[in-house]
Amino acid sequence: MSAPAYQGIKDFILEQIQSGVWAEGDQVPSEHELARDFGVARMTVNRALRELSADQVLTRVQGSGTFVARPKYESTLVAIRSISDEILARGHRHRASVLELDSARADDALADEMQVTPGSMLFHSRLLHAENDQPVQLEERWVNPSLAPDYTAQDFTQITPNQYLVRVAPLQRVEYRIEACLPDARVRTLLAMAAEEPCLVLQRRTWSQGQVASVVHLWHPGSRYRFTGHF
């Protein structure tokens, strides 16, 4: 059985975007033009455009036309996956830049989160993750040295902190919270965000062997990222 006509139009539009012929913000042909080119009724074209808009592939602006939307990258909250795995699963390129990799003493607030004595030494890292060379996540993490003693010796351009920790400190328990907030100038610059654009911040704490293994804050541009959960 051949695919319905509207599906052929959707496939054509997706191919133009995925091949780079149409980029983010480009205007796509009008319903009239597409109906003429495909030899179908405008109602058929309208369905294709509506479905692609619902999938956030296109954006329709009343009185102006239909445009290629900015992609919203997804992250599942149920399974803790490495961001590199998520990006590769989408067929895209992942790149990590290590901004900091050192040790730090826990102040009172961090000691409470890590369930250690104030002043205890912790490992600390800050990484910037990019998808197809576009920054999508700023990761700041504190790690319990007793559970991952070789943490600062790792090359986190080749393996993510999440992948390493899952291997050496198997996950026992996790808690997280998500909030929207305005980033400071440093975060906004690193994530190439517009002024006044909010961040989606995931704060996550994990346990292994009865101890807190790590506390991580993950900053994402609000216009380019979304979280989804599957139960």
Whole-prediction pTM value?
A: 0.66
Here the tokens at position 71 are 């992609």
Give the other-Cβ count within 10 Å of 207's Cβ: 18
Average pLDDT over residues 44-53: 92
Beta bridge partners of 140: 126, 217
Residue with tokens 């054509």: 12
Q: Which domains does the chain have, with CATH numbers?
A: 5-68 (1.10.10.10), 73-228 (3.40.1410.10)
Average pLDDT over residues 13-24: 84
Q: What is the pLDDT of residues 71-104, one digit of tens each?
A: 655 454 445 678 888 888 888 899 999 999 999 9
**The pLDDT of residue 124 is above 70:** yes
Beta-carbon contacts of residue 102 (< 8 Å; ≥ 6 apart):
123, 124, 125, 152
* pLDDT reported for residue 80: 63
Average pLDDT over residues 162-172: 87
* pLDDT reported for residue 62: 81
